[in-house]
Amino acid sequence: MSKYFNLIAFIISLLFLNLFRNSEASVVSTGDFNNDFFVMWAPSHVNTSADGRERSLKLDQESGSGFASNQMFLFGRIDMQIKLVPGNSAGTVLAYYLTSDQPNRDEIDFEFLGNVSGQPYIVQTNIYADGFDNREERIYLWFDPTKDFHTYSVLWNLYQIVFMVDSIPIRLYRNHADKGVAYPRWQPMSIKVSLWNGDSWATRGGLEKIDWSKGPFLASFKDYKIDACVWQGNPRFCRADSSLNWWNGARFSTLTRVQKRWFKWVRKYHMVYDYCQDNQRFQNNLPKECSLPKY
């Protein structure tokens, strides 16, 4: 009888362990920058509010600055409220991205390219998959991103990567791995944010340089949310379609009807550059995904 009860206890303990492991698989962030992120470089240029809810990065002639998440993730949704560098921000680059930091790295990038006063900000998005990039797209924002905070989001799941601005999808990249197109699906990635000098290329191809007399340049962050699968060394937990991994559910496998309308609106009225339309760059041999459905 004791062997029978020991077996029952062992099975129950395994069930609880599995529940615990699954409960630890995803995270809803604390909202405190001090808890969820560490300063990558130039701590003197990173300022965090007393309650940890707001943070700013500074760029001057001495240095840029940056911070990164303590955890790594495989699939999920990341939201960050950002107020971009105001005034004459030409040459500055604010990068907000996910990266695996491996030689054949995967990366999902937002890059905000500053501009001369009165000219609209450009948002460049890019995707690295298995170490290859060359997938840049650029749009003009339809508002002044320096006047107030706006939410910039990435939804990354088994089916697609969606870049969003205030919940409006501005870019899609579908998982066409079954057709030979590289897709970030195995490597965990951390969240990184940095403000730096990109005046060799960022504004008008590097023609506009940073006017340091307008500095220091500040970008601000608040109300971020990380709802993602925390990497624990086994991708199957993050790839599972479960109530915890809600982002892998079938309803997130494509855009909704309303999202598709917004997406087409962005592409029609605000697109600046699309690598899938750059035949000259690719010598009339566009990447394979350019001829495949976006949703």
| 3-state SS assignment for residue 95 | strand
The contacts of residue 286 (CB under 8 Å, 6+ apart) are 276, 278, 279
Does residue 91 contact residue 111 with C-beta atoms inside 8 Å? no
Dihedral, 160, 164, 169, 175 alpha carbons, nearest 10: -10
Task: Name the catalytic one among 24, 62, 107, 208.
Answer: 107
Query: How far, in Å, CA of 285 to CA of 281, rounded?
Result: 9
Catalytic status, residue 111: yes
Q: Which two tokens stand for residue 176?
A: 């066409």
Q: What number of other Cβ atoms are within 10 A of residue 10's Cβ?
A: 10
Task: Name the catalytic one among 62, 111, 137, 208.
Answer: 111
| 3-state SS assignment for residue 30 | coil
- Residue 126 is classified by DSSP as E
Catalytic status, residue 107: yes
Place of tokens 């790839």: 239
Cα dist from 274 to 121, 198, 230, whole Å:
17, 21, 32
Q: Which two tokens stand for residue 217?
A: 């340049």
Q: Which two tokens stand for residue 156?
A: 């990354």
Active site residues: 107, 111
